[in-house]
Structure 1
Amino acid sequence: MNKRRVKPEHVRREEIVNAAYEVIFEVGLSNTTMAQIAKKAQLSVGIVSHYFGDKQGLINACMLEMLNVLRRKTAQYKAEVQDSHPESMIKAIIDSNFDISQVNQRAMRIWLDFWSASMHMPELSRLQRINDQRLYSNLKFHFLELMPKDQASIAARGLAALIDGLWLRGSLSQDTTFDSTLARSIAYDYVDTQLKLVKQIRQERQNE
């Protein structure tokens, strides 16, 4: 007699989170219910609640997982850099933020819902602040290897804002496909401009 195989907890949680992503993409975060997610995952509401408590607990877990995907992508892109030069590392961070995992239609729709909800949900707001600080700190670390502290801070904040702005404009566009090549090119140009400015300032000071 065949016995139904019980899936490991991490597998079951992943299935529920993926089901939640699908429902949020289809109906929006505000219209999403635990019953819809359970149906999508082919589970009972009781089992979904067992793993995540309530809808808020599940939504928090979903956003955290999206942040973890971005964090892992950033680490992957940086690890693939051949020369480990600070400029290359900065551009690897740019690449990770415009990776297909971040700019596909489903991910962008869900991110927009989470960003909007973070204004009213303290835990989502906290996670968003962590994400913002992580991007800024990561960029500043490498800019500091290329320029003085004050300039590095400004350059990092500017690039972080540019990345978010390019992503947001792309997500609100009527186009079905995000132009990641163009977004990368614009962000790269910002980095190149900042480095040229620093070089120019140093040259002027040497000539004084």
Structure 2
Amino acid sequence: MPKVGMRDTRRQQLITATMESIAELGMQNTTIVSISRRAGLSSGIIGHYFGGKQGLIEAALRYLLEQLGKELKERIARTDGSPEQRLKCIVEANFSDFQQTEMAAKTWLSFWARSMHEPGLQRLQQINNARLYSNLRYAFAARLPPEAATAAARQTASMIDGFWLRSALSKDPAEGFAEAQTLCKRFALSTLNSGSH
């Protein structure tokens, strides 16, 4: 009989191995064999837990989304919940240490490229976009009229995605991510405070 928690441990091993394989080989060249070898588990277990490579790739992307959500909740829990603090937390969660790792960054980049052609990945991308927009709009709506809050949320979401992409592809990602975070926070806070005058 398997030990309690072994299933979750194996699932996580496979998800991590998938992201490592994507970071090294790209999504196209990542195979069940390359994943199972990295995880130190038999390839048959992938089919058992995830139904195949596509199911495992979607699970890896859901894991990235979960990490983003968890990071945001933890950060907001340590603040007074003001709109300023919420906006700072949203930006920080998107540029967190984990989201900047080569493994996470390359998985996101591969995910965005493939989501244009695969409905399952496209759905996850839409969830991600909607969540970012919704969190931003909630914060802006505390100070700005509805139309302005919508515009501010769209602009800030585009800035976060755009700066994240440029940073991930730059020669010095760490420096790019740090500067991007500062610029996104500055824009979000100045836009929020423009409604207070």
Match of 2:102 in 1: 105
CA distance in 2, matches of 1:88, 1:127: 27
- Residues 135 and 5 from structure 1, CA distance in 2 versus in 1: closer, same or farther, beyond 3 angstroms? closer
Q: Distance in 1 between matches of 2:192 and 2:46?
A: 51
Runs of 4+ in 1 over 4 A off after TM superposition: 3-7
Pick closer, same or farther for the CA change 1:176–1:199 going to 2, 3 Å: closer
CA distance 1:176–1:183, change in 2 (3 Å): closer
RMSD: 1.8
Q: For residues 22-52 of structure 1, what are the alpha-carbon distances to aligned partners after superposition, in whole Å with 9 as ceiling and x for unaligned?
A: 1111111000110111111112111221111
Q: Does 1:180 align with 2:169?
A: no
TM-score by length of 1: 0.89
Select which of 146, 161, 165 maps to 2:162.
165
Q: Aligned AA for 2:30?
A: T
> Residue 8 of structure 2 is aligned with which of 4, 7, 10?
10
Paired with 2:87 and 2:193, the residues of 1 have a C-alpha distance of 15
The answer (yes or no) to whether the contact 1:171–1:178 under 8 Å persists in 2 is: no
Aligned counterpart for 2:78 among listed residues 56, 77, 80: 80
Structure 2 residues not aligned, in runs of 5+:
none
Counterpart in 1 of 2:28?
A: 30
Amino acid at match of 1:74: L
1:22 match: secondary structure: helix
Contact 1:117–1:124, Cα closer than 8 Å, also in 2: yes
| Structure 1 CA distance for aligned equivalents of residues 120 and 58 of structure 2 | 7
Q: Which is higher, the Rg of structure 1 or of structure 2? A: 1
**Separation (CA, whole Å) in 2 of partners of 1:4 and 1:148:** 56
Aligned residues: 197
Alpha-carbon distance in structure 1 between the residues aligned to 2:189 and 2:175: 23
Partner-residue secondary structure (3-state), 2:106 = helix
How far is 1:189 from its partner? 1.6
The SS at the match of 1:10 is: helix
Query: Could you list the runs of 5+ residues in structure 1 that have no partner in the other structure?
Result: 201-208
Shift of 1:197: 2.9
- Which residue does the alignment assign to 2:115? 118
The offset of 1:77, in angstroms, is 1.0
Question: How many angstroms apart in 2 are the aligned matches of 1:143 and 1:6?
Answer: 44
2:124 aligns with 127
Q: Percent identity?
A: 39
